[in-house]
Amino acid sequence: MYASDEEIARIGRGFLDRSLPREDWTHAAHFAAALWLMRHRPDIDLPGAMPGLIRAFNEAKGGVNSDTTGYHETITQASLRAARPFLAVNAPEVPLFRIVAALLGTELGNPNWLLEYWSRDRLMSVAARREWVEPDRKALPF
């Protein structure tokens, strides 16, 4: 998917400064940005900061954050929990684009990966969009 750390940096920086084109904000880009932030911006508390960052990005691109669209707390926090171990098991000199590729080569590369842990109704509920909701199918492995 990504061939260099420069591509990952473009996504991470573009997300932060809201210059990333909306069409580039894909499932893969969400994970690429998260991993880039974890590695290059350890000063940012991602579980606490990501809600505001994503909401601001969505709004900058003309999106709306509501009970039915835009920012989703449970998906975001689950994705951060899933991504962190991929960074943790690799030495700092391992290229980030390889770590992103490894992550995307697992079940996490499928945008529906969360449905293994949450029923669709629970995951897509207003409550899950607004705040963390525990899985109802099985516990997350991370």
Would you call 118 helix, strand, or coil by DSSP?
A: coil
User: Which residue blocks in 5-125 are alpha helix, DSSP H?
Assistant: 5-17, 27-40, 46-60, 73-88, 96-104, 120-123
Instruction: Tell me the pLDDT band of 1, cut-offs 50, 70 and 90.
Output: confident
What is the pLDDT averaged over residues 31-42?
98
Annotated domain spans of the chain? 5-130
Residues 86-112 pLDDT 10s: 999 999 999 999 999 999 999 999 999
CA neighbor of 97 nearest in space, from 17, 35, 54: 35
What distance in Å separates the CA atoms of residue 86 and residue 99, rounded to the nearest whole number?
7
Is the whole-model pTM more than 0.85?
yes
